[in-house]
Amino acid sequence: MGNMRDTRDPREIALVVLERVERTEAFAKEALDGRLGKHRLSRENRSLARELTYGTLRWRGYIDGALSSLLTRDLQSLPGMIRNILRLGAYQILFLNRIPDFAAIDESVNLAKRYGHVGTAGLVNAVLRRVAERRDEFPLFPEGADEVERLAIRCSHPRWLVQRWVERWGEDATRALCEAANRPPPFVVRVNRTRTSTEALADELRALGIGCEAGRYVEEALRLSGHVDLGSIEAFGRGLFQVQDESAMVVILLLDPQPGETVIDLCCAPGGKAGHIAERTDCEAFVIAADVREIRLRRVAENLTRLALRGVAPVVADGKEFAVRTADRVLVDAPCSGTGVLRRRADMRWRLRPGDIADLVRTQRALLENAARLVRPGGVIVYSTCTLESEENEEVVEQFLAKHAQFVREDASPFVHHELVDESGYVRTFPHVHDLDGSFAARLRRVATTREIGCTPTSRG
């Protein structure tokens, strides 16, 4: 892996993160934030490091196709650092017009000398020069490639994922979805209306030169534009807002918590939805925020403290087994494959494997089963994910309903914007349709049975 060292060079920071993500399957955001936290980079260099990291990850499939067409050996046979130096250099040449080719090549060669030797530096120089010379020929496709493989390479997504989307929605919709996943997502925040108003926060941010526009579907949402550095925004430190996509806010609208109720959030980290419940009830609900990992709950507590939200009790517990008094509402924001948030999690598309979905479904079913034990008669469960895959969404819900006659599905239309509700009454959002993260949510109500209300069934004779 070469001699790792601290650096203030944004290209080297991006390289170290790319190599770590590929080698250890670390999460790109955490790895990059960790590296950036060690250095005092200028705003421009921090921005460049993020652009290089996420852009290279996002377009890795396309870039690998280009590089493989120019190499006489398998790209994967190269040392990890050299492979990622090539990807990083190719990304700059193919996608960043503001960086001259010679600069991208020279900086890549310097990195190859630092993390390789004279031979690998020569390889990087030769290959990247050919990338620049042949940029108009890309993407190149393997001989005999079918339409699915061509689409996967052109849009830089795993073939198996493109295949399943084409089978479900067709080629045009899949192309639009992939293209949306390759665009940087909007920066969206949730206004903490226990501390300020949407209009007042927008005015404060605009005074800092940050563009603001109203959210599309949630009144406490603001979409920000321009350079947003949370560390330099006083309003963030004062707890006036939380970074959160509108698709996540919609889930709490569907849950519709009320003051005085007990609400359980079975998979609460990082705490955005638990905080939103508190805000929506003016801190007059009792929210039990459970998560299996204590370290994740620390972040939940930090956010709640910053936002000055009361009535939320973080609890270390496995949501599949958590036992507590019955609640009025239970939120199951289930761990999932995350295929709806690929534009935010550029590394996830390369980490995910087809077999992962079946494993996740088992967890999702177990969480929903426990929620059924925790909600009172007449109470509500909301099941939500940030995936687009039917096995993790409606199939989980429909199998649950088939097994539990005391639950019924309720139409989401009275609670959320009609554009986000499908013909079955489920909430569905898509990046290429709504410019929100992809998500799914279902509202389930436990109907009180005659046994539960202490009545004897009437004989029908």
Catalytic residue flag (residue 268):
no
Is residue 308 within 8 A of residue 278, CB to CB? The reply is no
Of these residues, 155, 212, 336, 386, which one is catalytic? 386
The radius of gyration of the chain's CA atoms, rounded to the nearest angstrom, is 24
Is residue 19 within 8 A of residue 81, CB to CB? The reply is yes
Cβ burial, residue 422 (10 Å; 0-12/13-18/19+): exposed
Distance CA 20, CA 81 (A): 9
Q: Is the peptide bond before 139 cis (omega within 30 degrees of 0)?
A: yes
User: Which DSSP symbol is given to 346?
Assistant: T
Bridge partners (DSSP) listed for residue 380: 329, 445
Is residue 409 within 8 A of residue 443, CB to CB? The reply is yes
Is residue 394 within 8 A of residue 412, CB to CB? The reply is no
Is residue 273 within 8 A of residue 285, CB to CB? The reply is no
Written as six digits, the tokens of 136 are: 């108009």
Written as six digits, the tokens of 231 are: 């560390």
Written as six digits, the tokens of 39 are: 């250095």
Is residue 66 within 8 A of residue 87, CB to CB? The reply is no
Q: Could you list the active site residues?
A: 386
